[in-house]
């Protein structure tokens, strides 16, 4: 994400700028919903913009879904913003968000108000399992990049059914679900096709994943620059790295795409990756941790 410098009094504030959620067309609308154009300098709410009248859009199909909030105008809806609200986590990793009268995106304007295709007003929580191993030759030697002389990491990447982009096999945290469970569930569904495999295969991958996912390293928790974000609803994630140093546990397991994924494979990591949402930034953090080639 690029950075913008704002001046508040004499103290300059550096702010990461979201860009993907300011793209012209809103997703899953056949390009019929267009965001209001928000120039970089007008992204922060602190910058006055009296004539900001963004497009309003909430996808009709989210109405009545168990995973979605009702309209704020619904008289039976009494959300506890910035709180754990029953089973729904309305707390942002980014701190306390403003509500006016809807939650306001903590990273600023997106050119679209309403919820778009997101279910929750405010933060929509996800979890991203970043499963890595070293790239090895046939002789099982760790491969070095010929320029940086650093070892090459690989991660389990899925191709998303909705956009066709390659991504970390993450997903939404279900109401009341622990992030540690979401990480395992999403990996099993999207990278091991647990929803469609036989009972015995599922048990085998489950016991391997239970053991392997015991030892994770959190690389990030916070806002995601997801193209679905709006002024009032946005994605946040907890990204955790699970590394198979010897390539003998998950690194040796057969991958199979399932659920929201159409393809899966071990992808070589470098700065040339073009991944979904903020996933490049998440992968870069893993590279730094392992001092791998980038």
Q: How far apart are CA 181 and CA 243, in angstroms?
A: 18
Decide whether 171 or 216 has the Cβ nearer to ligand RP5.
Answer: 171
122 counts as binding ligand RP5 under rule CB under 6 A: no
Stretch of 25-33, 47-55, 162-170, 195-203 contacting ligand RP5, by CB under 6 A: 162-170
Decide whether 256 or 280 has the Cβ nearer to ligand RP5.
Answer: 280
- What residues contact 191, with CB distance under 8 A and at least 6 apart? 131, 156, 158, 169, 255, 256, 257, 258, 261, 264
CB atoms inside a 10 Å sphere around CB 102: 18
Decide whether 79 or 123 has the Cβ nearer to ligand RP5.
Answer: 123
Helix (H, G, I), strand (E, B) or coil at 129: strand
237 counts as binding ligand RP5 under rule CB under 6 A: yes
Decide whether 85 or 260 has the Cβ nearer to ligand RP5.
Answer: 260
Nearest to 105 by CA among 222, 239, 249, 211: 222
Please say whether the beta carbons of 80 and 94 come within 8 A. Answer: no
Residue of 21, 59, 183, 224 that binds ligand RP5 (CB under 6 A): 224
Q: Whose CB is nearest to ligand RP5? A: 170
Q: Establish how many alpha carbons lie within 13 A of residue 240's alpha carbon, considering only the half-sphere containing its beta carbon.
A: 20
Shortest Å distance, C-beta 245 to ligand RP5: 24
Shortest Å distance, C-beta 169 to ligand RP5: 8
CB atoms inside a 10 Å sphere around CB 150: 14
183 counts as binding ligand RP5 under rule CB under 6 A: no
Residue of 21, 68, 126, 233 that binds ligand RP5 (CB under 6 A): 126
Decide whether 171 or 258 has the Cβ nearer to ligand RP5.
Answer: 171
Residues 244-283 interacting with ligand RP5 (rule: CB under 6 A): 260, 277
Q: Establish how many alpha carbons lie within 13 A of residue 224's alpha carbon, considering only the half-sphere containing its beta carbon.
A: 31
Shortest Å distance, C-beta 52 to ligand RP5: 25
189 counts as binding ligand RP5 under rule CB under 6 A: no
Q: Which residues bind ligand RP5 (CB under 6 A)?
A: 126, 128, 167-168, 170-172, 224, 226, 235, 237, 260, 277
């Amino acid at each position: 994400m690029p950075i913008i410098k704002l001046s508040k009094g004499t103290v300059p504030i550096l702010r990461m700028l979201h860009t993907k959620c300011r793209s012209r067309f809103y997703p899953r609308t056949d390009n019929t919903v267009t965001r209001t154009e928000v120039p970089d300098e007008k992204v922060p709410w602190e910058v006055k913009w009296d004539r900001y009248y963004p497009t309003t859009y909430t996808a009709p199909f989210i109405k009545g879904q168990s995973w979605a909030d009702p309209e704020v105008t619904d008289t039976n809806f009494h959300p506890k913003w910035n709180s754990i609200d029953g089973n729904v986590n309305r707390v942002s990793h980014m701190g306390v968000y403003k509500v006016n009268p809807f939650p306001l995106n903590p990273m600023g304007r997106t050119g679209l108000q309403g919820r778009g295709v997101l279910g929750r007003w405010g933060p929509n929580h996800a979890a991203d399992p970043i499963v890595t191993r070293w790239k090895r030759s046939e002789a099982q030697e760790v491969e070095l990049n010929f320029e940086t002389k650093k070892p090459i990491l690989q991660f389990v990447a899925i191709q998303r059914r909705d956009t066709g982009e390659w991504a970390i096999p993450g997903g939404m945290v279900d109401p009341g679900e622990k992030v540690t469970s979401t990480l395992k569930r999403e990996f099993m569904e999207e990278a091991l096709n647990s929803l469609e495999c036989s009972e015995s295969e599922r048990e085998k991958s489950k016991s391997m994943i239970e053991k392997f996912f015991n030892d994770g390293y959190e690389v990030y928790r916070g806002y995601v620059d997801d193209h679905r974000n709006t002024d009032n609803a946005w994605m946040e994630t907890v990204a955790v790295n699970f590394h198979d140093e010897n390539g003998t546990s998950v690194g040796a397991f057969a991958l199979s795409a399932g659920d929201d994924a159409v393809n899966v494979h071990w992808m070589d990591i470098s700065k040339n990756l073009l991944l979904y949402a903020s996933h490049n930034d998440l992968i870069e953090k893993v590279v730094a941790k392992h001092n791998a080639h980038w």
